[in-house]
C-alpha cells in the first residue's frame, strides 16, 4: 500500500479511536449501560489494530527505527501511557474520581501523540 494511503488510513483510524474513546468516556461518566454493549467492547479494538498496523507498516516501509528516531520512541512510550490510563478510565478505576483523572490524562497523552506526530519532535512544546 502506498505511503499516502497508509498515512490517511492511520490518521482516520486515530480520529476514530479518539471519537470512540470520548464516547466511551462520556458513557463511563454518566454510568450509561451502553458502555457494556458488545460492539463497544469489540469495535475499538478492531480500529486500534488497524491504527497500529498502519503505523507499523509506515515505519517498516521507511525503515524508521524507534531507537534512532526519538520522536517515534516518544509516540510509542506515550501510547503505552495512553493505554494504561485508558484502561483505568474505562475499566479498572475504583472510584469515579480516579476514572475521571485517568480519562483526562489519557486525553492529554493523545494530544501529545498528535503534536509529536505533527512536529516530528519529542518536545513539541519547545519548537
pLDDT in tens, 107-122: 999 999 999 999 999 9
Burial of 36 per CB tally in 10 Å (0-12, 13-18, 19+): exposed
Tens of pLDDT, residue by residue over 85-106, are: 999 999 999 999 999 999 999 9
For residue 21, what is its C-alpha cell? Answer: 474513546
Q: What is the value of pTM for the model shown?
A: 0.92
- Angle at which helices 70-87 and 96-119 cross, to 10°: 160
Amino acid at each position: 500500500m502506498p505511503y499516502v494511503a497508509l498515512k490517511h488510513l492511520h490518521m482516520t483510524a486515530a480520529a476514530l479511536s479518539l471519537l470512540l474513546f470520548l464516547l466511551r468516556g462520556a458513557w463511563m461518566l454518566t454510568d450509561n449501560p451502553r458502555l457494556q454493549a458488545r460492539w463497544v467492547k469489540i469495535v475499538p479494538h478492531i480500529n486500534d489494530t488497524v491504527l497500529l498496523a498502519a503505523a507499523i507498516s509506515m515505519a517498516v516501509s521507511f525503515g524508521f527505527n524507534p531507537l534512532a528516531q526519538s520522536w517515534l520512541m516518544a509516540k510509542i512510550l506515550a501510547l503505552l501511557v495512553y493505554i494504561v490510563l485508558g484502561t483505568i478510565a474505562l475499566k479498572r478505576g475504583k472510584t469515579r474520581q480516579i476514572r475521571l483523572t485517568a480519562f483526562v490524562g489519557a486525553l492529554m497523552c493523545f494530544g501529545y501523540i498528535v503534536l509529536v506526530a505533527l512536529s516530528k519532535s519529542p518536545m513539541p512544546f519547545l519548537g
